[in-house]
């Protein structure tokens, strides 16, 4: 299991794992950063299908799917929209569109 991920300026992604001798880095060409869109309040129902349609047509989005996530320790599983993007720099601007 990685303990950190480096996003290098040239676009490469390095995943670091602890070893008995220190750490090793593995380069990943297929890594896609993911963020989740869901309601902050479990009693508020939001229409994820509209957001799903919006994000799946965006050119910087690689994949989307509706998944079940536990957003907190004391909360049950709730529906959330998982959005995979082509570069880590696209996470914040796209997440703000939700």
Same domain, 68 and 26: no
Q: Can you give the pLDDT at residue 42?
A: 73
What pTM was computed for the model?
A: 0.81
Domain that holds residue 45: 32-98
Q: Can you give the pLDDT at residue 25?
A: 94
Same domain, 26 and 9: yes
pLDDT in tens, 34-84: 999 988 877 787 889 999 999 999 999 999 999 998 877 887 778 899 999
Same domain, 18 and 38: no
For 48-64, give one letter per residue: b (16+ CB within 10 A) or e: beebbebbeeeeebbeb
Q: Would you say 78 and 70 are in contact if contact means Cβ atoms under 8 Å apart?
A: yes
Same domain, 48 and 83: yes
Same domain, 91 and 74: yes
Same domain, 24 and 45: no
Same domain, 2 and 39: no
Query: Structurally, how many domains does the chain consist of?
Result: 2
Q: Which residue has the higher pLDDT, 91 or 72?
A: 91
């Amino acid at each position: 299991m990685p303990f950190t991920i480096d996003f290098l300026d040239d676009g490469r992604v390095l995943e670091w794992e602890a070893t008995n001798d220190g750490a090793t880095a593995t380069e990943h060409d297929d890594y896609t950063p993911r963020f989740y869109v869901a309601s902050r309040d479990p009693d508020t129902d939001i229409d994820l299908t509209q957001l799903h349609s919006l994000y799946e047509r965006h050119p910087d989005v690689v994949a989307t799917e509706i998944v079940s996530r536990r957003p907190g320790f004391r909360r049950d599983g709730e529906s959330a929209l998982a959005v995979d993007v082509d570069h880590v720099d696209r996470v914040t601007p796209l997440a703000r569109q939700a």
